[in-house]
Structure 1
Amino acid sequence: MQQPDTIAASAAKGGVAAPALPGRDPRIDAFRGLALITIFIDHVPGNPYEFYTLRNWGFSDAAEAFFLMSGIAAGLAYSGGIGRKGLAEGGLPVWKRAWTLYLVHLFLTFWAIAIYAAGSHWLQNPDLLTKINLRMVFSAPEDTLPALPMLLHQLGYVNILPVYSVLLVTTPLVIWAALKRPGLVMAGSILLWFAAGLWRLNFPNYPNPGGWFFNPFSWQLIFTIGLLTGVSLKQGNRFVPKLGWLFWLAAGWLALVLVWRYVPVVGSMLNHQMARLGSFGIPFHFVSHDKTFVALPRLLHALALAYVLSCLPMVRRAAGSGPAGFLRLLGRHGLLVFASGTLASLVMQVLVFSLVNPAPAAWAVLPVGMVVMLGVAALAERRRLARLAAAKAGPAVDSMSRMMAPDLPPARASAK
């Protein structure tokens, strides 16, 4: 394993994918990076790569993976501070992060409006102003524009950060409770998910009817499971232990879902049975594939996939290998990569929707996305490593200056 100064040197020479950080589970960064690539591909409808992403192999997609990984990362990053410093002081970094996510969401939202408006004008395609929930922005701006910063009106493909930001606001309290009663936190999260689907609890949408596409009352369950997993990992434990029967049950469910999706006779029969259960009064989020309320089949598919992958030693080795370095790099700088990828995907959407022959733009989606996201991640990594090198060199430089000028008083810490 390279030491930080060696890593910094290799990055300075133009290296892009840094090794896994010591003491850091490589699976978290690698799978978050993979989820970011998948989200980018799925955010440009009509490209040829979308037929190979996760949503084609089951009921869940990269969004569930993103929330689960983000919950795990939050549990690992913040549970130690909250455990040592308490809820108020330990939760401050989490609330600062939630505020950052809110600002990034506004940045992406107004850039989405600008990109689509420019595309409509320059490419002579007025239909662009009716896509991704933009119609009300231009037809009723006096109602819609004030709703944007209040998170009441959200644009398609730019609507995942609001729920993440809201969940981070409550994260310190959830972590504080999880350190004492993780089972109670899990039970409360399940009950909230159940109530949201049963009574259609959701945050309001305005001026359109309905609620948020990513319903915080429902999506909190996946995030909380990730959070509890991260808290347990920080303590050196597994939240859900490795059990042979559970592994094979999860693997069997994944196989059944695959057959359900691609064997018409089986799929038709199972969908019919789900409809019958619904007619008997079973809540809709138990017998549908709804994404807003994270219906049970989607939830179980996402959790089963995560459990199977977490039990396989080869997965950890692969995630920490050299070829997976670019995935870890993307995942390590998730917010910057997501933001840059979102902007690139919006530009590619406009081109694919507007060009007379969209095929070249559609085939260029993945190469363009990878260049943009890896470029941003590489710049962020170089900056991070430079800071590490400066922090490491700082004490030595300060000691040398005192040796050369022992009569000078010690330097005071900067107030910045």
Structure 2
Amino acid sequence: MTPVGHPASARDPRLDFFRGLALVMIFINHVPGNPLEVFTNRTFGFSDAAEGFVFMSGMAAGLAYPMAFVRLPLWRAVAKCWGRAWTLYSVHLVITMISLAIMMGAAYWFGAEKMWGINNVAPWIEAPVQATIGIATLGHQFGYLNILPMYAALLLMTPAMILVAQRNMWVMLGGSLLLWVVTGETRLNIPAFPNAGGWFFNPFAWQFLFAIGLATGMRLKSGRRLVPNVAWAKWLSLAFLIFVLAWMKIDIVQFYGRAGLSFLRDHGFPFYITSFDKTFLAAPRLLHLLALVYFLSTQTWVLRLSASRWVWPVELMGRFGLACFALGTVLSILGQSIKAALIYDPWIFDMGFVFVGLALQMGFARIKWQLAQKPA
């Protein structure tokens, strides 16, 4: 939906604000054990900041790339998407090696032996040759550093999505839904060499959420909504969000809710419908995020909040999302390593580290913004 009073080409502050808010929550959740975790969205619903991040990444792609497929030769338009994927791959390799050095340094110099065995570091220690090959080929991903490979894979799929969507949006979304179903039915995934199993964020499943975001962004670019703003849908989405909140906070509601999912599972419904599996983006997680997005997109107060100067630091984080995500990831690994080296881990350290880390990211985004304002 285009904001009232804004031309279709104007930058929508909601995208930057919510992307920045997702980065804030991702950083908080990536420093486990800190008291602020209870205030992040994963304690209020089935989805978490990762789903929001992927949806908004799809929106950003829908705003940024489709016109290139109209104005430029096909190979140049494809190159824009794939060039961004290469950037994500490069950033992923850099922060992976920095994070590995931090974890190994904490264990080697400061007695944080815990870091040898968490975040999927142990396989690298046990088989460094194979795991190093896996790092370069994206098969071996350390814990908390596995979202950028999935995002890069989605950008490789983006040209095909855009080309189909420009002819028929609903055919593109239908094909994406079909791939999500086939992925769940066949357990399709990219191998996690040299480890068993596949990627934690399975791009064949998560592409469906990205595709919905892409379609939303493409419609937003032309000043239209993907799904109309109608009263019954707005109230239905709100009712679902309240039900999920009750599920998360009230034991009896959760008991009967899980019993209902067990009933469906016992009667043949597949796991990607009846579980909360994150790798395959199970239906409860997907539906919760979509209900949240739809409801918030219908609220005028959301636009006013997103455009407020009081949330500008968060909006800047969203505007320079990749840079802030990279910095936040390295800082979160640093925080985990420091915590592992402490004999006593007081909650005040956790709180202080989170606030300092967020301040550094907001300051970094401010510097990036100031540099962007200077003429070349």
Give the TM-score taking structure 1 as reference length.
0.86
Deviates more, 1:91-100 or 1:211-220: 91-100
Task: Figure out how many residues of one structure are paired with residues of the other and give that number.
Answer: 367
* Equivalent position of 2:4 in the other structure: none
Residue by residue over 1:56-108, the C-alpha shift from the partner in whole angstroms, topping out at 9 and shown as x without a partner, is: 01000000000111110111011112122243222222111110000001111
Q: How does 1:260-339 map to 2 (within 5 A)?
A: 260-339=247-326
Instruction: Please report how far the alpha carbon of residue 176 of structure 1 lies from its aligned counterpart in structure 2 after TM superposition.
Output: 1.7
Cα distance between partner residues in 2 of 1:184 and 1:148: 36
Deviates more, 1:114-123 or 1:169-178: 169-178
Structure 1 unaligned runs (5+)? 1-21, 391-416
* Equivalent position of 1:371 in the other structure: 359
2:370 to 369, 382, 400: 382
Q: Find the residue that maps to 1:118 and give its secondary structure.
A: helix
Residue by residue over 1:103-153, the C-alpha shift from the partner in whole angstroms, topping out at 9 and shown as x without a partner, is: 001111111110100000122122211110000111111221111110111
Counterpart AA for 2:101: A
Residue by residue over 1:176-215, the C-alpha shift from the partner in whole angstroms, topping out at 9 and shown as x without a partner, is: 2111110000000111111111111111112221111000
Runs of 4+ in structure 1 deviating by more than 4 angstroms, as ranges, are none
Cα distance between partner residues in 2 of 1:54 and 1:365: 20
Cα distance between partner residues in 2 of 1:379 and 1:300: 37
* Equivalent position of 2:239 in the other structure: 252
1:50 is the counterpart of 2:40: no
Give the TM-score taking structure 2 as reference length.
0.95
2:171 to 160, 172, 184: 184
Counterpart AA for 1:271: R
Aligned sequence identity (%): 43
Q: Find the residue that maps to 2:199 and give its secondary structure.
A: coil
Cα distance between partner residues in 2 of 1:39 and 1:308: 22
1:158 to 128, 132, 145: 145
* Equivalent position of 1:113 in the other structure: 100
Residue by residue over 1:31-61, the C-alpha shift from the partner in whole angstroms, topping out at 9 and shown as x without a partner, is: 0000001000000101111111000010000
1:147 to 113, 123, 134: 134
Instruction: Please report how far the alpha carbon of residue 233 of structure 1 lies from its aligned counterpart in structure 2 after TM superposition.
Output: 1.0
Residue by residue over 1:223-272, the C-alpha shift from the partner in whole angstroms, topping out at 9 and shown as x without a partner, is: 11000011111122111111111111111110110111111111111101
Cα distance between partner residues in 1 of 2:133 and 2:251: 47
Deviates more, 1:284-293 or 1:167-176: 167-176
Counterpart AA for 1:376: F
Cα distance between partner residues in 1 of 2:73 and 2:56: 24
* Equivalent position of 2:21 in the other structure: 34
Cα distance between partner residues in 1 of 2:289 and 2:166: 25
Cα distance between partner residues in 1 of 2:240 and 2:124: 43
Cα distance between partner residues in 2 of 1:275 and 1:86: 52
Partners of 1:351 and 1:361 within 8 A in 2 = no
Cα distance between partner residues in 2 of 1:86 and 1:361: 54
Cα distance between partner residues in 1 of 2:114 and 2:343: 14
Q: How does 1:234-253 map to 2 (within 5 A)?
A: 234-253=221-240
Cα distance between partner residues in 2 of 1:266 and 1:328: 36
Partners of 1:348 and 1:361 within 8 A in 2 = no
Cα distance between partner residues in 2 of 1:208 and 1:170: 25
Cα distance between partner residues in 2 of 1:216 and 1:86: 27
Q: Find the residue that maps to 1:294 and give its secondary structure.
A: coil
Q: Find the residue that maps to 2:310 and give its secondary structure.
A: coil
Partners of 1:47 and 1:365 within 8 A in 2 = no
- Asked which structure has the greater CA Rg, the reply is 1
Cα distance between partner residues in 2 of 1:193 and 1:354: 42
Cα distance between partner residues in 2 of 1:98 and 1:148: 16
Q: Find the residue that maps to 2:51 and give its secondary structure.
A: helix
Cα distance between partner residues in 2 of 1:353 and 1:244: 51
Counterpart AA for 2:35: P
Partners of 1:79 and 1:234 within 8 A in 2 = no
Cα distance between partner residues in 1 of 2:180 and 2:356: 38
Cα distance between partner residues in 1 of 2:40 and 2:74: 39
Q: How does 1:349-360 map to 2 (within 5 A)?
A: 349-359=336-346, 360=348
Cα distance between partner residues in 1 of 2:340 and 2:165: 46
1:136 to 100, 108, 123: 123
Partners of 1:26 and 1:319 within 8 A in 2 = yes
Partners of 2:339 and 2:345 within 8 A in 1 = yes
Partners of 1:128 and 1:350 within 8 A in 2 = yes
What do you get for the CA RMSD once the two structures are aligned? 1.1
Counterpart AA for 1:107: V
